[in-house]
A and B are shown apart, each in its own frame.
Chain A
Amino acid sequence: MMIVLTPIREFKVPIFAECISPEVFEGKNIVQIGQLPVYEGNREKKLQELFKIEEAKTAEGVAEPAITIQGDVSKLKYIGAGMTKGEIVINGSVGMYLGEEMKGGKITVYGNAGGWAGSAMKGGTIEIHGDAGDYLAAPYRGSTQGMSGGKIIVYGNAGVDAGAYMRKGIIKVHGNAGQFVGVGMHDGVIYVKGNCDGRAGSCMTGGTIVISGFIESILPTFTFEGLKKKVKIEESEVVEVPLYLFIGDLTENGKGKLYVSKANNPQLYYYERFL
């Protein structure tokens, strides 16, 4: 069964829509789904007051519940929070905490995502075809339990603190990333195909960060390890260009690996004297 949600009007104030999740919708008919509670600012509303809800036929044999949202929902928070199965497709931009602590299933966004997308996720896949906001996959303030599994692919740019305190999983950013990529990460892989604003891997204790584009400088607490010919991102993907490898962060007694493209960073040639 696939449910199609279309916003009735333009939203102004933030909406808490934890109920938009395949598990919550599963086993309910359109009337029951329409009665699900959402908060628009401080007013309690029903889902049907905000969305036109329709049921669409899915291909034969597809048992997983699915949700499609047609339109801009950038004011909606917590879509797909905690989901374990099924699929959500959003044809438009989406608000904060997309797939927060999700454990399985797939979310695809054909637009931009707000901050904390995939916050502390444990499994599943998030694909963002536009830009991701700040704190991609990062946990809440004060927590050091970041993403612990799953995969996030961003085809646009990512904001600051992408993959903060990450423990496992893969994040791929095809565009540029803000500063503090992989801050405090323990394990997992972050691959930035574009440029990075700097301070990558600060306070990391483990894991791998690969930057294919330009990064102005490496933090002084990383030590130069050598020149590598290739690095494996995942089973099916290997980056085969010359890369500088740095180990850090020394101040946290870290053993994290920071790979930086040689070709795009002539300013780091300085380190080759240590070879």
Chain B
Amino acid sequence: MTVVKAVTCPVCGCLCDDIELTVRNGRIIKVKNGCAMCEAKFLSHASDHRPTKSMIRREGKLVEVSLEEAVRKAAEILVDASYPVLYGWSSTSCEATKVGIELCEEIGGVIDNTAVVCHGPSILAVQQVGIPSCTLGQVRHRADLIIYWGCDPWSAHPRHIERYTAFSEGRFEKSAWRTYINKVKALVGSKKIESAIRRLAIKSWEPAVARVEKSPSQYLSREGRKLIVVDVRRTKTAEMADYFIQVEPGKDYELFKAMRALIRDQEIEVDRVAGVPVEYLEDVVDVMVSCDFGAIFFGLGLTMGSAKLKNIEEAIRLTRDLNMRTKFIIMPMRGHFNVAGANIVSTWETGYPFAVDFSLGYPRYNPGETSVVDILLRKESDAALVIASDPVSNFPHKASEHLVQKPLIVIDAHMNVTASMADVFIPAAMVGIEAEGTAYRMDHVPIPLKKVVDPPEGVFSDEEILRLILSEVRKIKKERMEAG
């Protein structure tokens, strides 16, 4: 039995690198320091349902074949296609993405990563207006005001608050953990009273209007680190915040606009913006302006809201305006553990972070035109390679329909929904558990992923499989060239 220390967790964009794993007979049996998602992923490597053989669809059924045969079939599909798409990349290593881009250039396809359905709008906004940001270490040690906007880290990035923001013990800022405990105690008491009153009172229907707590000054006047949450509903993170702003769904943009006007001492001619009284907003803006170091973290609540990239543009402009008065930074809460890495590798290889079209021989980029979801919805692609992702379970139905109608190659460690509809399936080793690699944290800091156990026999890493396909593609192209 061995204990491996300082392992990086390959789940979310936090990339916690303090995980301790206990390994016995080539199996991970215990996970320490990780969150529930981390534990589930590390223990899943030895799942009984894990596929270990390559498969090809024959007469409607997936049948087991040798790796060489599967690689040959995959390469043939890619060479024959005139507009193939290569999608996924966010849950694999930077090294694999690099080979993927080489493969895409060779076959003249479109390469896109999962940013297209999560923080793609953030990237577009950054290209339009720039971004003032920093590393999470800076936030941990210096930030005295944390704002989570349209995200719920308690559920999606469980250790973000504890490791990097409000509850972390920084060099210059103390943890706000104790305040939270007191708040929870008070909250439990008040909830009991509330439910008792509700049981006694006549059931009256409350209209679903934006609910804002009383004037923020009483909540935000205390010393020390403060946490503000802006969301459309009271999430778990909102429960622990010092102040929660419940914004009307789809109205974040107006709220940003109003805040910017207030920071610039301009008058607003309406009484409420996005369901929030303007005088409350004035108090919140006062707190923002008077902090020493503020940090805004935003999630898909903003990027997938009705204003999409414009929400993020406005959030960044708000940060820019705040920097005229104090120090403020903004950072997207990246989801998959290496989605930032996929963007970075794509940028240094092609110049563009996602949705790169190689069909003309050189990279072109214009999300909306070259993004995979739009290509699939317009039914333009004629083959696809999906790696380390499960688009069928989360793409729009029409897009998934077109994806599975055309030849589909899937490289994944698990038999997910997309893999079960593939024409060629190649099982892969799990990066960060059975294969080494590099991943980028949400603040663009590269962190090495460790190999802790060996992959099942005959299973290779994503990078090795892609290299095999790439060399096979080159071989086929050479054969065809010689044959004229």
Which residues of A come within 8 Å of B, CB atoms?
Answer: 12-14, 16, 39-43, 75, 77, 96, 115-116, 134-135, 140-142, 144, 179-180, 183, 199, 202, 217, 219-221, 223-224, 250-251, 271, 274
Does the CB pair A221–B261 fall under 8 Å?
Answer: yes
Does the CB pair B108–A42 fall under 8 Å?
Answer: yes
Inter-chain contacts of A220 with B (CB < 8 A): 254, 257-258, 261, 268-270, 273
Does the CB pair B306–A179 fall under 8 Å?
Answer: yes
9 residue pairs A–B, Cβ–Cβ below 8 Å: A12-B382, A14-B380, A16-B360, A42-B358, A115-B368, A135-B368, A141-B127, A202-B257, A223-B267
Does the CB pair A140–B261 fall under 8 Å?
Answer: no
With both beta carbons as reference points, the residue of chain A lying nearest to B367 in the complex is identified as A141
With both beta carbons as reference points, the residue of chain B lying nearest to A251 in the complex is identified as B260
- B96-130 Cβ-contact flags toward A at 8 Å (1 or 0): 00000000000111000000000000001001100
With both beta carbons as reference points, the residue of chain A lying nearest to B267 in the complex is identified as A223
A180-B310, A251-B317, A271-B269 known; A42+B109 contact, CB < 8 A: yes
Does the CB pair B380–A13 fall under 8 Å?
Answer: yes
Does the CB pair A41–B258 fall under 8 Å?
Answer: no
A42-B359, A220-B258, A220-B269 known; A140+B366 contact, CB < 8 A: yes
* Contact of B266 with A by CB under 8 A: yes
* Contact of B82 with A by CB under 8 A: yes
In chain B, residues 234-252, which have Cβ atoms closer than 8 Å to a Cβ of chain A?
none
A134-B368, A223-B269 known; A41+B82 contact, CB < 8 A: yes
* Contact of B19 with A by CB under 8 A: no
Inter-chain contacts of A180 with B (CB < 8 A): 307, 310
Q: How many angstroms from the CA of A202 to the CA of B257 in the assembled complex?
A: 9
Inter-chain contacts of A116 with B (CB < 8 A): 366, 369
User: B383 to chain A: closest CB distance in Å?
Assistant: 10
Contact of B82 among A43, A77, A135, A183 (CB under 8 A): A43
User: B126 to chain A: closest CB distance in Å?
Assistant: 9
User: A244 to chain B: closest CB distance in Å?
Assistant: 12
Does the CB pair B127–A142 fall under 8 Å?
Answer: yes
Does the CB pair A251–B269 fall under 8 Å?
Answer: no
Inter-chain contacts of B124 with A (CB < 8 A): 141
* Contact of B253 with A by CB under 8 A: yes
* Contact of B164 with A by CB under 8 A: no
Q: How many angstroms from the CA of A12 to the CA of B382 in the assembled complex?
A: 9
* Contact of B83 with A by CB under 8 A: yes
Inter-chain contacts of B108 with A (CB < 8 A): 41-42
With both beta carbons as reference points, the residue of chain B lying nearest to A197 in the complex is identified as B306
Inter-chain contacts of A179 with B (CB < 8 A): 306-307
* Contact of B325 with A by CB under 8 A: no
User: A30 to chain B: closest CB distance in Å?
Assistant: 26
A41-B382, A141-B128, A251-B260 known; A221+B266 contact, CB < 8 A: yes
List 15 other contacts, CB 8 Å, given A220-B254, A250-B261: A13-B380, A16-B360, A39-B360, A41-B83, A42-B359, A42-B360, A43-B82, A134-B368, A140-B366, A141-B128, A199-B253, A202-B257, A220-B257, A251-B321, A271-B269
Which residues of B come within 8 Å of A, CB atoms?
Answer: 81-83, 107-109, 124, 127-128, 253-254, 257-258, 260-261, 264, 266-270, 273, 306-307, 310, 317, 321, 358-361, 365-369, 379-382
User: B443 to chain A: closest CB distance in Å?
Assistant: 22
Inter-chain contacts of A140 with B (CB < 8 A): 366
A13-B82, A220-B269 known; A251+B257 contact, CB < 8 A: yes
User: B289 to chain A: closest CB distance in Å?
Assistant: 15
User: A44 to chain B: closest CB distance in Å?
Assistant: 9
Inter-chain contacts of B306 with A (CB < 8 A): 179
A142-B128, A179-B306 known; A251+B82 contact, CB < 8 A: no
Q: How many angstroms from the CA of A43 to the CA of B264 in the assembled complex?
A: 54
User: B254 to chain A: closest CB distance in Å?
Assistant: 6
With both beta carbons as reference points, the residue of chain A lying nearest to B369 in the complex is identified as A96
Q: How many angstroms from the CA of A135 to the CA of B124 in the assembled complex?
A: 14
Does the CB pair A42–B273 fall under 8 Å?
Answer: no
Q: How many angstroms from the CA of A151 to the CA of B124 in the assembled complex?
A: 28
Inter-chain contacts of A223 with B (CB < 8 A): 267, 269
Contact of A199 among B107, B307, B366 (CB under 8 A): B307
With both beta carbons as reference points, the residue of chain B lying nearest to A114 in the complex is identified as B369
User: A95 to chain B: closest CB distance in Å?
Assistant: 9
Contact of A251 among B81, B128, B261, B367 (CB under 8 A): B261
User: A10 to chain B: closest CB distance in Å?
Assistant: 11
Q: How many angstroms from the CA of A140 to the CA of B268 in the assembled complex?
A: 33
With both beta carbons as reference points, the residue of chain B lying nearest to A252 in the complex is identified as B317
Q: How many angstroms from the CA of A16 to the CA of B379 in the assembled complex?
A: 17
Does the CB pair A250–B266 fall under 8 Å?
Answer: yes
With both beta carbons as reference points, the residue of chain A lying nearest to B250 in the complex is identified as A198
Interface pairs A-B: 3 shortest CB-CB: A42-B108, A41-B82, A41-B83
Q: How many angstroms from the CA of A202 to the CA of B81 in the assembled complex?
A: 42
Does the CB pair A199–B83 fall under 8 Å?
Answer: no
Does the CB pair A75–B380 fall under 8 Å?
Answer: yes
Inter-chain contacts of B268 with A (CB < 8 A): 220-221
Inter-chain contacts of A250 with B (CB < 8 A): 261, 264, 266
Inter-chain contacts of B367 with A (CB < 8 A): 141
Q: How many angstroms from the CA of A14 to the CA of B382 in the assembled complex?
A: 11
Inter-chain contacts of B127 with A (CB < 8 A): 141-142
A12-B382, A134-B368 known; A221+B257 contact, CB < 8 A: yes
Inter-chain contacts of B270 with A (CB < 8 A): 220
Does the CB pair A39–B269 fall under 8 Å?
Answer: no
Inter-chain contacts of B81 with A (CB < 8 A): 41
Q: How many angstroms from the CA of A221 to the CA of B258 in the assembled complex?
A: 7
Q: How many angstroms from the CA of A233 to the CA of B263 in the assembled complex?
A: 35
With both beta carbons as reference points, the residue of chain A lying nearest to B359 in the complex is identified as A42
Q: How many angstroms from the CA of A14 to the CA of B307 in the assembled complex?
A: 28
Inter-chain contacts of B317 with A (CB < 8 A): 251
With both beta carbons as reference points, the residue of chain B lying nearest to A161 in the complex is identified as B310
User: A132 to chain B: closest CB distance in Å?
Assistant: 14
Does the CB pair A41–B307 fall under 8 Å?
Answer: no
Inter-chain contacts of B307 with A (CB < 8 A): 179-180, 199
User: B442 to chain A: closest CB distance in Å?
Assistant: 22
Inter-chain contacts of B109 with A (CB < 8 A): 42
